[in-house]
Amino acid sequence: MTGAARGLGEAITARLTADGASVVLIDISPEVLGTAAALAGDAPGATTSGLVADVSDETACENVISQAAARLGGVDLLVNNAGIGGPDTAVVDTAAADFRRVVAVNLGGTFLASRTAARLMIAQGTGGAIVNLGSIFGQQGVAGGAGYCASKAGVALLTQSLALELAPHQIRVNTIAPGNMATEMHWEELRSRAAAAGTSFDDQVSLVRDGVPLRRHGTGADIAGAVAWLASRDASYVTGQTIGVNGGVWLS
């Protein structure tokens, strides 16, 4: 489980352990060790432990996924959740390094972790599942978010290619595309929008909420439920899909 120190990753981990899964939490932030410890006692029979690594670093990512699998005695689920928001600037004002960084973490990290986990799953020969975190912004471009949008659109098509390549091994690969979720990443974006528009943070929160047909922000539990389903036998005929969990936001 990557990007597990806080936010959606923490909520997904809590749900998986409550369902009885043992999870290794991976994050670039050392806070992940505290998150793993805090979740440790929640589910009898399930274990949690933390590892610190940058998923965009090829060697570090390969090592940490292998180490996680060794700790667990194998790997049957990888959740690629680690992500960053990227520069909130127009393309003409965006530094190449900032564009490359968001693609390296969101798309490159998903590629690297999936590659190592897929090799391990193929060697195990018992199938498995990979669930990636995309975004509504990977389904439609927005001004000022080119790097993030491109990285998340890339995740959706990486998912399709991987699903086809891994289907013969009974390894399913899917993406969840969250909408506007009540996490620090989204609040940071709204603070930035408020500063640019000269309005308050609360105004931006209301503006987003009023544009969602279900009239609320999504929660970690909303995403965790979709991950738990995709990881379960109930989804055993589902692969290569990008599933929106967004309160119906593209319908209005």
Ligand X SMILES: NC(=O)c1ccc[n+]([C@@H]2O[C@H](COP(=O)([O-])OP(=O)(O)OC[C@H]3O[C@@H](n4cnc5c(N)ncnc54)[C@H](O)[C@@H]3O)[C@@H](O)[C@H]2O)c1
Three-state DSSP class for 143?
A: coil
Q: Which of 250, 247, 245 is nearest to 223 (CA)?
A: 245
Cα 139 to chain centroid distance, Å, stands at 15
Instruction: Tell me: does residue 63 bind ligand X (CB under 6 A).
Output: no
Determine which residue in the list 14, 68, 75, 82 makes contact with ligand X, applying CB under 6 A: 82
Q: Given the rule CB under 6 A, which of 4-12, 13-21, 120-128, 231-239 is the region that contacts ligand X?
A: 4-12
Binder of ligand X out of 48, 114, 135, 175 (CB under 6 A): 135
* 50: contact with ligand X by CB under 6 A: no
In the set 6, 15, 101, 152, the catalytic residue is 152
237 is catalytic: no
Q: Which of 17, 159, 180, 204 is close enough to bind ligand X by CB under 6 A?
A: 180
Nearer to ligand X, 16 or 170 (CB): 16
- The H or E element that residue 132 is part of is strand 128-133
Number of chain positions touching ligand X (CB under 6 A): 28
Structural contact between residues 154 and 103, judged by C-beta atoms closer than 8 angstroms: yes
**Nearest distance from residue 114's CB to ligand X, in Å?**
14
The answer to whether residue 13 forms part of the interface with ligand X (CB under 6 A) is: no
* DSSP three-state, residue 201: helix
Cβ closest to ligand X, residue 118 vs residue 222: 222
DSSP string covering 67-79:
HHHHHHTS-SEEE
- Cβ neighbors of 105 (< 8 A, separation 6 or more) are 54, 55, 56, 82, 83, 84, 151
CB 124, CB 78: distance < 8 Å: no
For ligand X, the closer CB: 18 or 185: 185
Interface with ligand X (CB under 6 A): 2-3, 5-9, 27-29, 54-56, 81-84, 105, 109, 133, 135, 178, 180-181, 183-186
* Catalytic residue numbers, as ranges: 148, 152
